[in-house]
Each structure stands twice: as structure tokens, then as C-alpha cells.
A and B are shown apart, each in its own frame.
Chain A
């Protein structure tokens, strides 16, 4: 399978919570990252978690890290239409080409009224 996997789509109603999941095969990352990409724009760092933490909260964002299961999730509380974007998880993964920042395929979040 892929080194970093995400589901491709998520649709939620405005005001609900969104949970975006990510699994990875291996990681030597000091940090694991969540990036947000709005239409026609580059990626912007949304939040990150230190690899020895299991949770980080930042306003409406909660990141959960389960190192045993190699699972990372991003929860957005009170999701707004402005949160509609593609969300990428990323971490430094040991691949055949060395230790590189590897991105998941991205999850497109659609927020409906």
C-alpha cells in the first residue's frame, strides 16, 4: 500500500464536526503535519503535532496521534463553509529514496449548508 493513506472525500453539514483520518506505514518524523489547500492555492500549514504527543488542541482543531496504530486524525469542530478545502497529512517517512516529507493523497472536505 501507499506510505501515507487518506480517504479522498468527506462531506459534512455546517456546524457539525469533521474528522479526517490518515494512516502511515512508518515514520521517523519529529513532527507530523496537517496542511490545507484551498482551490487554486498552494499548501498552507494548518497544524502539527510533536511525535511524542498523543493529542494537540488548537482552537477548533484537535490532532490525535496513535503511534502504535500509526494513525493520525484531524478534528475540526463547528465546521464552516470556509473550511472547504483539501487537507493533507504529511510526515517524514522512510522510503526507498531515503527520509523524505511524504504527503497523503489529500482529503477533499465539502461543507454543506
Chain B
């Protein structure tokens, strides 16, 4: 039981490049979330999903897209990376609404 895993762990992109971050969970959770963490700002919700095939915008969705084609996977895409997207990205999942969220180890992304 791996919990929540994220790939890759680190990535450096140039401005304008694209990439996809993968989140996988093996706990059969319905809810999945993508957050970004910036110094002094805590975690901010980018997008979330309440089940397979559904996605919704969070607090800071601009510049990101997501997909939840399979229940266990939640993908976060950056179509044209910008330096403002330099951050640490965390994926989380939960069994139910307002349930405990389990977090992945994070992906550190630098955009130059």
C-alpha cells in the first residue's frame, strides 16, 4: 500500500515548455486534489476532483489543466510554463467530503 505517489520528484522547465505531473493513489479514494505551496502562503488549491471523470477549479486554477480519466490517477498539466509557476506541487486524496486528506511527497518545479 503505497498511499499517494507523485512523479516526477523534481523538474526544471524553461518558460513556455509544457509538462504533466502524475498523481496516483491506491486507497480507492473518490476525492483528489492538487495544491501548490509557496513560501509564506501555505497551500493553495489548484484543482480538485470528486470522482472519476470529474474536475473542478480551486483557488488558483489559471495556467493549469487537470484530468481524472481513472479513479486512481489525477494529472496536472502546464501547457505553457511561466516563472510564476515555480513552486512545490502536492497531490492529495480523501475518501469522503471533509475527510482526512492524504498527501503525496511533492514535486519541486522550477521554471526559468
Contact = CB atoms under 8 A, between A and B. Distances in A.
A40 B104 CA distance: 11
B98 interface: yes
Contacts of A103: 42-43
A51 to B, nearest CB: 10
Taking residues whose C-beta sits less than 8 angstroms from the other chain, chain B's interface range is 20 to 34
Contacts of B43: 43, 88, 103
B94 to A, nearest CB: 9
Interface of A: 4, 8, 29-31, 33, 35, 40-45, 48, 88, 92, 95, 97, 100-101, 103-106
B41 interface: yes
B100 A33 contact: yes
A8 B101 contact: no
25 contacts: A4-B42, A29-B98, A33-B100, A35-B103, A40-B106, A41-B105, A42-B4, A42-B104, A42-B105, A43-B43, A44-B103, A45-B101, A48-B100, A88-B42, A92-B98, A97-B57, A97-B58, A100-B45, A100-B58, A100-B59, A101-B33, A101-B45, A101-B98, A103-B43, A106-B42
